[in-house]
């Protein structure tokens, strides 16, 4: 039902029917799909038009009944053919018939539940006695109570209280109590299923490569949030994730183990957020201090000899490093140059994938340093420099 769940409709039966022969006796439950209606909870394809009409025909039986329910006599909106009915479409000032929109939301919910039930019905043909079936939520345009009652044995929730501290938020002017707001979410979950679980509990800093960037949890916060879930009735808590992925859209979504596979609370965040501001501040400082400054680029054919004319090189945030670039920098320093580097240096390889090493990555032998902890300074953080 969303971008995480596409392309499974035709293959699901085959996968489920094949797997029972390979079940492990330690397998105790099944999670259906992932986060139904997450990110996207409205659909406007031609197949949705066809399914929406079928939904309405089953509900109203006749166009007269639909016209009456939708009040189509107002503004001359009467329908005289089912093919005239579409999911809500863009209009001037978004003036969509409110009764149509209400049925559309109900249609979305029924579609998601039908998709969930299709999977649970197949699973129940094969699961062994005692195995539970669940899925994780809770998302909008979806009757989660009905989905629990008709499809699942137990309901699970994804708890990410650190969303309250994303860089776009203002925690000091927040009327929803920041991370305490998740207590309200957990109350809602408990109303859906009193014996619920947490399928994804916050385990570090969150963020995709395009959104949701946030500082790392403070010391003790992960334990606090975990206890928040348990005290609200969670029978089961699973952390997302164990190891931070080094590639793809979610490589900034941190796990219990960081890129270097060491237990810590490090944070990686978009290069642009720090690089742009740092480069500008370096320029401003040089101008205010009347200090001459050049821009220099280390290219494929750059040699250390070309850099010798500079007493100081500032490489603000050398996130992507290659062995060749490191070699040039090493030669420059060994010849007496002064190299100043910035945060996140050596974090990624040439393909933009995070290396499984502590920062400064392959530059560490030159700097003789390591970065054990790092985070973004959040909107609620005070900065003290000693």
DSSP line for 296-347: ----TT--HHHHTT-SEEEETT--B--HHHHHHHHHHHHTT-EEEE-TTTT-
In a shared domain, residues 293 and 350 = yes
3-state percent breakdown (helix, strand, coil) of the chain, nearest 5: 40, 10, 50
Do 186 and 276 belong to one domain?
Answer: no
Give residue 141's pLDDT: 94
Catalytic: which of 35, 58, 188, 305? 35
Q: What's the whole-number average pLDDT of the chain?
A: 86
Q: Give a yes or no: residue 246 inside a domain.
A: no
**Does 88 reside within a domain?**
yes
Q: Are residues 227 and 91 in the same domain?
A: yes
Nearest to 202 by CA among 253, 263, 245: 253
**What 3-state class would DSSP assign to 380?**
coil
Dihedral of CA 38/250/264/167: which sign?
negative
Summarize pLDDT for 240-254 with one digit per residue, the tens. 988 888 888 888 888
CATH code: domain of residue 171: 3.20.20.80
* Most confident stretch, 141-150, 295-304, 367-376: 141-150
Q: Which residue has the higher pLDDT, 138 or 8?
A: 138
Burial of 208 from C-beta contacts in 10 A (0-12 / 13-18 / 19+): middle
Does one domain contain both 230 and 319? no
The four Cα atoms 70, 73, 77, 78 give a dihedral, to 10 degrees, of 80
Let me know whether 183 and 330 are in one domain.
no
What's the per-residue H, E or C state across 52-115? HHHHHHHHHCCHHHHHHHHCCCHHHCCCCCHHHCCCCCCCHHHCCCHHHHHHHHHHHHHHHHHH
The answer to whether residue 78 is domain-embedded is: yes
Taking CA atoms, 314 is separated from 36, 68, 308, 320, in Å, by 47, 71, 13, 15
In this predicted structure, the answer to whether residue 257 has a pLDDT above a threshold of 70 is yes
- Catalytic (active site) residue 110: no
Give the residue, 255 or 25, on which the prediction is more confident.
Answer: 255
Count up the domains in the chain and report the number. 2
Rounded CA gap, 202 and 181, in Å? 14
Largest CA distance in the chain: 87
Q: How confident is the model at residue 14, as a pLDDT?
A: 52
Per DSSP, the three-state class of 41 is coil
One domain for residues 288 and 143: no
Mean pLDDT across the stretch 205-224?
86
Q: Which of 200, 305, 323, 373 is catalytic?
A: 200
Residue 92 in this model has a pLDDT that exceeds 90: no
Q: What is the pLDDT of residues 268-284, one digit of tens each?
A: 445 666 777 788 888 88
Q: Do 78 and 89 contact (CB within 8 A), yes or no?
A: no
Which residue has tokens 């992960």?
222
Which tops the pLDDT comparison, 365 or 350? Answer: 365
In a domain, 178, yes or no: yes
- Distance of alpha carbon 235 from its chain centroid, rounded? 24
Residue 245 lies in a domain: no
CA 208 – CA 282 distance, rounded (Å): 28
Same domain, 148 and 18: yes
Report, as an integer, the average pLDDT of 317-342.
92
253 lies in a domain?
no
pLDDT over 90 (residue 345): no
Q: Is the pLDDT of residue 80 over 60?
A: yes
264 has a pLDDT exceeding 50? no
Sign (positive/negative) of CA torsion 350, 353, 359, 365? negative
Q: Comparing C-alpha atoms, which of 157, 242, 158 is closest to residue 204? A: 242
- Collapsing DSSP to helix, strand or coil, 271 comes out as helix
Q: How far is CA 353 from the centre of its chain?
A: 18
**Whether 347 contacts 359, CB under 8 Å:** yes
CA angle 293, 299, 305 (to 5 degrees): 65
For residue 1, what pLDDT band results from cuts at 50, 70 and 90?
very low
The pLDDT, as a whole number, for residue 37 is 93
Residues 73 and 27 in one domain: yes
pLDDT the model gives residue 298? 86
In order, the DSSP letters of 239-255 are EE-SB--SSSTTTTS--
Same domain (yes/no): 291, 180 = no
Q: 348: domain range?
A: 271-367
pLDDT > 60? residue 267: no
Domain assignment present for residue 69? The answer is: yes
Active site annotation includes 169: no
Q: How many CB atoms are closer than 10 A to CB 179? A: 22
Looking at the domain assignment, is residue 254 inside a domain?
Answer: no
Q: Which of 111-120, 185-194, 274-283 has the lowest mean pLDDT?
A: 274-283
Q: Is the same domain home to 100 and 161?
A: yes
Instruction: Say whether both 231 and 312 belong to one domain.
Output: no
Shared-domain flag, residues 232 and 306: no
């Amino acid at each position: 039902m969303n971008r995480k769940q596409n392309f499974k409709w035709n293959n699901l039966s085959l996968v489920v029917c094949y797997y029972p022969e390979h079940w492990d006796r330690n397998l105790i439950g099944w999670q259906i799909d992932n986060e139904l209606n997450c990110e996207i909870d409205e659909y406007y394809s031609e197949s949705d038009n066809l399914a929406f009409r079928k939904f309405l025909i089953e509900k109203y039986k006749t166009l007269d009944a639909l016209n009456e329910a939708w009040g189509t006599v107002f503004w001359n909106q009467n329908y005289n053919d089912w093919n005239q009915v579409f999911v809500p479409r863009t209009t001037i000032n978004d003036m969509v018939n409110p009764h149509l929109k209400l049925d559309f939301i109900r249609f979305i919910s029924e579609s998601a539940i039908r998709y969930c039930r299709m999977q649970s019905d197949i699973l129940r043909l094969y699961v062994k006695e005692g195995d539970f079936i669940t899925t994780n939520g809770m998302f909008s345009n979806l009757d989660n109570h009905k989905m629990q009652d008709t499809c699942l044995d137990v309901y699970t929730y994804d708890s990410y209280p650190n969303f309250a501290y994303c860089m776009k938020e203002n925690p000091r002017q927040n009327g929803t109590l920041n991370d305490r707001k998740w207590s309200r979410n957990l109350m809602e979950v408990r109303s859906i299923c009193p014996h619920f679980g947490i399928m994804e509990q916050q385990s570090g800093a969150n963020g995709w490569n395009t959104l949701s960037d946030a500082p790392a949890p403070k010391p003790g916060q992960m334990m606090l949030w975990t206890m928040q879930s348990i005290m609200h009735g969670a029978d089961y808590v699973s952390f997302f994730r164990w190891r931070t992925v080094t590639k793809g859209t979610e490589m900034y979504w941190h796990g219990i183990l960081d890129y270097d596979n060491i237990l810590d609370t490090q944070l990686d965040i978009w290069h642009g957020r720090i690089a742009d501001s740092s480069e500008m501040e370096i320029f401003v400082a040089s101008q205010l201090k009347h200090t001459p400054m050049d821009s220099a680029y280390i290219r494929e054919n750059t040699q250390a000899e070309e850099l010798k004319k500079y007493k100081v090189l500032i490489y603000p945030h050398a996130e992507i490093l290659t062995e060749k670039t490191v070699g040039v920098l090493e030669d420059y320093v060994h010849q007496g140059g002064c190299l100043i580097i910035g945060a996140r240096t050596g974090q990624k390889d040439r393909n933009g994938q995070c290396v499984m090493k502590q920062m400064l990555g392959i530059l560490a032998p030159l700097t003789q340093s390591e970065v054990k902890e790092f985070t973004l300074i959040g909107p609620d953080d005070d900065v003290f420099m000693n």
